[in-house]
Structure 1
Amino acid sequence: KAYATWNDIKNQAWAIDGIRHVFEPFVQAAYIPQPNVRPNEFAGFDNRVNTTESQPLNSSLYNSIDSIDKLLIVRPGMMNRMMTKRDGAPYELANWKIYTDYQPIRPELTSLNFQSVQVPETVPSSLPQLYNVLNVMPVPWWTGTVGATTAISGNGFNSLNLGSRWQICPALDLYGSYSYLESFSYLDALNNEVLTNTQTSLVNATAHYRLNESWLVNGGVTYSLNPGLVQGVNFGLCRDIGAWILGVSLGQRNNQGAPSETIALATLTLKAFPEMPLGFNQNPTSTGVGVGGYQQNMGGGYRDGGSGSSN
């Protein structure tokens, strides 16, 4: 870790009392030896599918347990933080994380690969994608997030997620986001066919309102710009019962040509683990930061980033 400090930079309007830049390079790694029974030797249930998210290196967060095979991933990256001082304590104004994955040992998931769809761990490319996450937090009641994925190899994809969280009052949080995805191939499990996403844009809005110390309601809508249609609507109610949070949610999804879905979900979350969010299709990721509303994750479904993030 290295840092530089500029104590002479001050701005009363933005509550800036000096600036400190902290630079933290890092290297993470995960190794899995070859198992005795490999994924292509049995019919799995929680199989790995193509997804826009980089996979968590923590095995406890990897939810595709029927696709665990030999693997070695080295994840180099860097974290930059911009900090100031407020009320005599450090305050983080922004952070930027950039990283990529190098995989000298790749799993053999032949039963999950198709001619134009391969899960990223099996693609023969040393550094297939470059991941960026930028968070801007100039004030406690507003946060802006930019998440971008850039293709390094020819078989990669490009994505952009812009998110904003605005706490209008202590009881009301509003989330809005825009998601763009380009050149992404995936398997449509409903129709059992390979689809190639040439260009997709989504606009999302979510609101959380705390009725009192025990009850919270939320709702969200997802609108697809191409084609123009409402892709998803959901409503939820949460009850604080002490050490646990009880939640119920109801959602409707338009699958664009495939049968639509009506989803009812009940959750029980331990408050000691707040990184476990309430929402549809929980999909742990390695980005560390989510954006408001749904994120485009064609392989893993839509994830309610407004209610939390993981890893």
Structure 2
Amino acid sequence: MQNRFTRALISFVCLLSIHLGVLGDASIDDVALQIENLRPESEILHFMDQNTWVGTNGVIVRYGNVALTAETVRVNDLTKVVIAEGAVTLQRDGTYWKGEHLEYNFETNEIKTDEFRAGIANIFVGGVSLETTTTNTTQIAQNAFVTTDDLAEPSFRIRAKSVKVILGKSVEARDATLYLGNVPILWFPYFRRSLEPHARFFVTQPGYRSRFGPYALNKYVYKFDDRFEIVMDLDYRAKRGVGFGPELTYDLGHHGRGNFSYYQTSDRNPGFDQQNVPITEDRYRLKFDYQVMLNTNLTAKASIRKQSDVFTVRDFFEPQYLTNSQPISFVEVNQLWSNLSLDFLAQPQVNNFSQTIERLPDIRLAGARQQLGETPFFYDSDSSFAYLRFRQGSGINTNYAAARADSYHQLLAPQTYFGWLNLTPRIGGRVTHYSETESKIATFDSENRFVFNTGAEASFKASRILSETKNSMFDVDGLRHIIEPSLNYVFVPEPNVRPNRLPQFDTEIPSLSLLPIDYPDYNQIDSIDSQNVIRMGLRNRIQTKRDGQVVNLVQSALVTDLRLDPNDQQTRLSDIYSSLEFMPRNWVTLRSELRYNDRQHQLNAANHSILLSPNDVWSVRLGQRYFRQNSDFGPNSENNTFYDSFYYKFNENWGFRMSHHFEARDGKMEDQLYTIYRDFRSWTGALTFRLRDYRQSEDDFSVSFVISFKTFAIRSLGSDQNKSSLLSNE
């Protein structure tokens, strides 16, 4: 045992040493206004007596989120005004200007320019001159053209003596002529077009899915104003029937905001539930959300998720199901003070087939960590009262209920020693009362449980600058290494009442990561038992400067628990958890997460990915997810999945994307998806094919076609990159 413990500890220390580096003190400062060379022959001069920078032969000027490139620039340090000449481009917040001459104020965003082209608020403008108002919300161009066609030679445009663009509001043209190609078609003395979303429009999404047959998902959208929107869904699926229902989004100002939707269908082929019981044909889903601020720091929230059966959302709203397969319904009121918060929560079981912990109600008073007068001590607390009912769901009568009153209080004394070592000893106590359990299958007596805890956390942060380090391959311009080791010791003697004598409501469930070990972060109140553990952690960051900004080149973390007195289900050393993120370039990101069992010398979980996204022409994502079989997560929890996603833009008109999920355990391609994108100038189209292997049932094949106007797009091009949104009515 001693040798195994020593070997495990040495292994952990070796893993930590991988991430260690040199230490010291320094900093990397951000620069507000930066001027950089674009080419080796570029030259930058600073005239201090004139507070002016002059750049020639190609330079780039950066200020916050604004980037300007030009052959020649003159920048005033004080006024932040730049005069740029030659191949000038200016980019800011997704908007760009291009021309040969530009005068721009970096602080006020005012623009004066000669002949130019610009992309403003999803439309494109070109002309002889451009000026902006001091509020930067209005652009005025002379002898200009305007179009929504984003090609170099637009298929249509309006030429006008003057064009005014009010961002997000409207575009106005005077003495305007509509051109198709180079042919004048129609003259307008005055033309105005709103840039705000259309008040009423219709959206249809045709497609085919083997489980649905041919289908058409239809929406009629009516926007009253910015505060109210009504959507009417009317869907047809050849094999399943008609589905319909309303959606309402509302904003009542200080009376609150939220949404409501109801969807119903008479399903011709509903299938079976988890107990192999036939699902009724009448299927529906109700969704309601509401949030309001009743007073200063007093908020109320309500959420209802009601559905006819366990698979309604899965069958008809798949993206929502993949995000949250078991949504809860609740009403919550929260009052926040400077050092206290009071929370009222009511959580009933709305769907009788879903396992639920009912809280009828759960009232919680939490005290934020605060200093006790002028003493070195800090105090935090967490107290609650709840009437709780465990509802198994699906007709299984293993329900039980009890009232619980819990109060936790803790004292801390954070100190800093030697100017760098942070040490926080703590001591706390908890008392919990349980009423006699109400149950038809088992009864727990009324109990009063007392818990004592103590411990201390130690940590420090150190850093060192290597300002002369340069590396073109990894885009390194100076390095800063920050290291943060930590130790957290927790001791909890055995409570007077063990968990096996208490009803389990807030209980410990299996987790893919380490749970908190200290209170009140560890909130599995009913599972509290003895603890004698040290959590060892190490975080590292290696930073550099790119484009004048500090970025994390490498981020890593290691953590594990050393259990000095493990229980029967624990090993002395927990699994070792590590995470690593490496960005060798701004467009390359590598991530790795590992969970390693040192005692058995085996990898229990892994998640690796690499993302390459150098431009808007192509991007690639590759990854692997591995999880070793663990009975705590069910009988079929093992997986070894490889996945990829690839996007390529052939030209201005065509793009392609594909993604795959391959299960290496049995060699099955579980999911494959292919999308062809077509740019039709003012609108885009996407044709998607998808094939899924469900193993225990027939393969599911889908094809869908979606169109979207660029100026008033419902979905941006490629927004479905990691979703199946093109194959649903959401």
1:74 corresponds to 2:519: no
- For residues 188 and 57 of structure 1, do their structure 2 counterparts lie closer, same or farther at Cα, with a shift above 3 Å needed? closer
Task: Supply the distance in 2 between the matched residues of 1:5 and 1:185 (Cα, whole angstroms).
Answer: 44
Q: Quote the residue 2:593 is aligned against.
A: 147
Q: Quote the residue 1:19 is aligned against.
A: 479
Q: 1:5 aligns with which of 465, 469, 472?
A: 465
Q: Quote the residue 1:185 is aligned against.
A: 630
1:84 corresponds to 2:544: yes
- For residues 72 and 157 of structure 1, do their structure 2 counterparts lie closer, same or farther at Cα, with a shift above 3 Å needed? farther
Displacement of 1:168: 6.4
Amino acid at match of 1:5: I
RMSD: 4.9
> What is the identity percentage for the equivalent residue pairs of Structure 1 and Structure 2?
24
Q: Quote the residue 2:515 is aligned against.
A: 55
CA deviation vs aligned residue, 1:277-296 (integer Å, no higher than 9, x gap): xxxxxxxxxxxxxxxx8xxx
SS of the residue aligned with 2:559? Answer: strand
Task: Supply the distance in 2 between the matched residues of 1:143 and 1:21 (Cα, whole angstroms).
Answer: 19
Which structure 2 residues correspond to residues 272-291 of structure 1 after superposition, within 5 A?
A: none
- For residues 33 and 15 of structure 1, do their structure 2 counterparts lie closer, same or farther at Cα, with a shift above 3 Å needed? same
SS of the residue aligned with 1:20? Answer: strand
Q: Which stretch of the first structure deviates more once superposed, 135-144 or 30-39?
A: 30-39
- Given that 1:222 and 1:231 are in contact with CA atoms closer than 8 Å, whether structure 2 keeps it comes out as yes
- Given that 1:70 and 1:106 are in contact with CA atoms closer than 8 Å, whether structure 2 keeps it comes out as no
Amino acid at match of 1:130: I
- For residues 188 and 95 of structure 1, do their structure 2 counterparts lie closer, same or farther at Cα, with a shift above 3 Å needed? closer
- Given that 1:80 and 1:96 are in contact with CA atoms closer than 8 Å, whether structure 2 keeps it comes out as yes
Task: Supply the distance in 2 between the matched residues of 1:89 and 1:26 (Cα, whole angstroms).
Answer: 28
Instruction: Compare relative contact order (CA 8 Å, sep 6+) and give the higher one, 1 or 2.
Output: 1
1:129 corresponds to 2:575: yes
Amino acid at match of 1:161: N
Task: Supply the distance in 1 between the matched residues of 2:541 and 2:556 (Cα, whole angstroms).
Answer: 7
Displacement of 1:83: 1.5
- Given that 2:594 and 2:603 are in contact with CA atoms closer than 8 Å, whether structure 1 keeps it comes out as no
- For residues 162 and 73 of structure 1, do their structure 2 counterparts lie closer, same or farther at Cα, with a shift above 3 Å needed? same
SS of the residue aligned with 2:583? Answer: strand
CA deviation vs aligned residue, 1:120-165 (integer Å, no higher than 9, x gap): xx31x22132222111023344321111222122397533321234
Task: Supply the distance in 2 between the matched residues of 1:41 and 1:155 (Cα, whole angstroms).
Answer: 36
Q: Quote the residue 2:499 is aligned against.
A: 39
SS of the residue aligned with 2:577? Answer: strand
TM-score by length of 2: 0.25
Amino acid at match of 1:23: I
Task: Supply the distance in 2 between the matched residues of 1:181 and 1:30 (Cα, whole angstroms).
Answer: 29
Task: Supply the distance in 2 between the matched residues of 1:57 and 1:148 (Cα, whole angstroms).
Answer: 20
Q: Quote the residue 2:560 is aligned against.
A: 100
Q: Quote the residue 2:607 is aligned against.
A: 161
Displacement of 1:25: 1.1
CA deviation vs aligned residue, 1:254-310 (integer Å, no higher than 9, x gap): 88669xxxxxxxxxxxxxxxxxxxxxxxxxxxxxxxxxx8xxxxxxxxxxxxxxxxx
Displacement of 1:202: 0.9
Task: Supply the distance in 1 between the matched residues of 2:620 and 2:589 (Cα, whole angstroms).
Answer: 11
Task: Supply the distance in 2 between the matched residues of 1:63 and 1:175 (Cα, whole angstroms).
Answer: 37
Q: Quote the residue 2:640 is aligned against.
A: 201
Tell me, which stretches of 5 or more residues in structure 1 are unaligned?
Answer: 109-121, 208-218, 235-251, 259-292, 294-311
SS of the residue aligned with 2:552? Answer: strand
SS of the residue aligned with 1:9? Answer: strand
Displacement of 1:89: 4.1
SS of the residue aligned with 1:101? Answer: strand
Task: Supply the distance in 1 between the matched residues of 2:694 and 2:494 (Cα, whole angstroms).
Answer: 37
Amino acid at match of 2:625: S
Q: Quote the residue 1:269 is aligned against.
A: none
Displacement of 1:226: 0.7
- Given that 1:150 and 1:157 are in contact with CA atoms closer than 8 Å, whether structure 2 keeps it comes out as yes
- Given that 1:50 and 1:186 are in contact with CA atoms closer than 8 Å, whether structure 2 keeps it comes out as no
Displacement of 1:48: 3.6
Displacement of 1:84: 1.3
Largest Rg, 1 or 2: 2
- Given that 1:69 and 1:107 are in contact with CA atoms closer than 8 Å, whether structure 2 keeps it comes out as no
- Given that 1:7 and 1:18 are in contact with CA atoms closer than 8 Å, whether structure 2 keeps it comes out as yes
- Given that 1:128 and 1:155 are in contact with CA atoms closer than 8 Å, whether structure 2 keeps it comes out as no
Amino acid at match of 2:630: S
Task: Supply the distance in 2 between the matched residues of 1:220 and 1:41 (Cα, whole angstroms).
Answer: 50
TM-score by length of 1: 0.51
- Given that 2:510 and 2:633 are in contact with CA atoms closer than 8 Å, whether structure 1 keeps it comes out as no
- Given that 2:627 and 2:637 are in contact with CA atoms closer than 8 Å, whether structure 1 keeps it comes out as no
Q: 1:223 aligns with which of 647, 653, 662?
A: 662
- Given that 1:221 and 1:232 are in contact with CA atoms closer than 8 Å, whether structure 2 keeps it comes out as yes
- Given that 2:532 and 2:563 are in contact with CA atoms closer than 8 Å, whether structure 1 keeps it comes out as yes
Task: Supply the distance in 1 between the matched residues of 2:615 and 2:504 (Cα, whole angstroms).
Answer: 47
Amino acid at match of 1:131: Y
1:138 corresponds to 2:584: yes
SS of the residue aligned with 1:226? Answer: coil
Task: Supply the distance in 2 between the matched residues of 1:256 and 1:50 (Cα, whole angstroms).
Answer: 26
Tell me, which stretches of 5 or more residues in structure 2 are unaligned?
Answer: 1-460, 647-657, 674-690, 698-721, 723-730
Displacement of 1:64: 5.7
Task: Supply the distance in 1 between the matched residues of 2:536 and 2:603 (Cα, whole angstroms).
Answer: 20
- For residues 131 and 90 of structure 1, do their structure 2 counterparts lie closer, same or farther at Cα, with a shift above 3 Å needed? same
Task: Supply the distance in 2 between the matched residues of 1:38 and 1:228 (Cα, whole angstroms).
Answer: 46
CA deviation vs aligned residue, 1:203-258 (integer Å, no higher than 9, x gap): 23579xxxxxxxxxxx9864311123355799xxxxxxxxxxxxxxxxx9988669
- For residues 89 and 68 of structure 1, do their structure 2 counterparts lie closer, same or farther at Cα, with a shift above 3 Å needed? same
Q: How many residues align structurally? A: 217
Task: Supply the distance in 2 between the matched residues of 1:74 and 1:133 (Cα, whole angstroms).
Answer: 20
- For residues 86 and 202 of structure 1, do their structure 2 counterparts lie closer, same or farther at Cα, with a shift above 3 Å needed? same
Task: Supply the distance in 2 between the matched residues of 1:13 and 1:157 (Cα, whole angstroms).
Answer: 32
SS of the residue aligned with 2:599? Answer: coil
Which structure 2 residues correspond to residues 166-177 of structure 1 after superposition, within 5 A?
A: 166-167=612-613, 175-177=621-623
- For residues 96 and 256 of structure 1, do their structure 2 counterparts lie closer, same or farther at Cα, with a shift above 3 Å needed? same
SS of the residue aligned with 1:148? Answer: strand
Task: Supply the distance in 2 between the matched residues of 1:254 and 1:37 (Cα, whole angstroms).
Answer: 49
Displacement of 1:69: 3.5
- For residues 162 and 106 of structure 1, do their structure 2 counterparts lie closer, same or farther at Cα, with a shift above 3 Å needed? same
